[in-house]
């Protein structure tokens, strides 16, 4: 890979590249962008970074992290151009917050181990919210993927003391929601009960110390690998995959599973 040496390889260099793109002789498309027009692209870049991390591909992580960094610099300069705020405002805000919420690092408070970090963080956030009519749940973005949002709000509620006594109660709730789904009579009722079941499964995931969003992404990737493997086997054998009976598809599925384990 060749590197451009016209700009320093620092955040300042990224800032200068973006300034050039948004300048009078820059890119017409870039100059037309707004926070709103970029938000779906920014989310896409974040998901691509997460995927690269899960794949453990360092080269891809570097590339996708750079894309996320570009979007941050891009949107900072859009704000500056519109006199909304500056990059310094963004940096000052996050620095102040991090220093304020880590008194055991930047102040005189003492923290014995990592288990105290989240309760301390929550306590400081509650103190910051004192006098405001806000919920501890309000800081969780509602635009998050539904599974991740569910786990985040459940975690915050649990840290406020609203939680099951033990895992057995969590699993019983899963069973209860499944039975209610089975008993539902209408499409609307089934949809509501399915949502309740998914919410309770996310809670079980939280109790197991697993991320429901990550677990489902892993299963999604596994299904993708196996299904595309079935399609490949069918092509290699001159078979019309779509026309195959279900039992033949199941045989291909089992074959791809055995191939995964070297069987």
52 Cβ partners below 8 Å, 6+ apart?
Answer: 60, 61, 63, 64
Whether 135-210 and 11-96 are alike in CATH topology: the answer is: yes
Least confident interval from 13-17, 33-37, 71-75, 121-125 = 121-125
Q: Rounded to whole angstroms, how far apart are CA atoms 151 and 164?
A: 14
Band of pLDDT at residue 117, cut at 50, 70 and 90: confident
Mean pLDDT of 33-58: 92
Band of pLDDT at residue 114, cut at 50, 70 and 90: confident
Q: Above pLDDT 70, what percent of the chain? A: 97
Residue 72 pLDDT: 95
What residue spans define the domains of the chain?
11-96, 108-134, 135-210, 214-260
Residue 263 confidence (pLDDT) above 70: no
Fold assignment, 11-96: Helix Hairpins (1.10.287)
Residue 128 pLDDT: 76
Residue 2 pLDDT: 59
Half-sphere exposure of 24 (CA within 13 A, CB side): 0
What is the assigned CATH class of domain 135-210?
mainly alpha
Dump pLDDT digits (tens) for 158-184.
988 999 999 999 999 999 999 999 999
Q: DSSP for 238-253? A: T--GGGS-HHHHHHHH
């Amino acid at each position: 890979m060749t590197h451009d040496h016209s700009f320093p390889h620092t955040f300042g260099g990224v800032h200068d590249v973006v300034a050039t793109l948004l300048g009078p002789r820059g890119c017409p498309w870039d100059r037309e962008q707004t926070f709103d027009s970029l938000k779906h692209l920014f989310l896409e870049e974040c998901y691509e970074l997460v995927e690269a991390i899960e794949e453990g591909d360092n080269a891809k992580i570097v590339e996708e992290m750079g894309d996320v960094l570009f979007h941050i610099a891009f949107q900072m300069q859009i704000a500056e151009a519109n006199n909304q705020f500056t990059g310094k405002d963004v940096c000052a805000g996050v620095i102040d917050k991090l220093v304020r919420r880590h008194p055991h690092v930047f102040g005189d408070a003492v923290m014995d181990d990592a288990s105290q970090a989240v309760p301390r963080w929550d306590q400081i956030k509650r103190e910051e919210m004192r006098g405001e009519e806000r919920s501890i749940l309000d800081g969780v973005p509602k635009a998050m993927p539904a599974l991740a949002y569910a786990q985040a709000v459940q975690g915050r509620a649990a840290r406020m003391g609203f939680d099951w006594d033990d895992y057995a109660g969590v699993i019983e709730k899963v069973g209860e929601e499944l039975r209610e789904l089975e008993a539902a009579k209408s499409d609307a009722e089934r949809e509501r009960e399915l949502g309740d079941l998914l919410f309770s499964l996310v809670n079980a995931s939280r109790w197991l110390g697993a991320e429901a969003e990550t677990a489902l992404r892993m299963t999604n990737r596994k299904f993708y690998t196996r299904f595309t493997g079935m399609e490949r086997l069918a092509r290699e054998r001159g078979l019309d995959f779509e026309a195959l009976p279900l039992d033949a598809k199941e045989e291909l599925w089992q074959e791809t599973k055995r191939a995964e384990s070297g069987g």
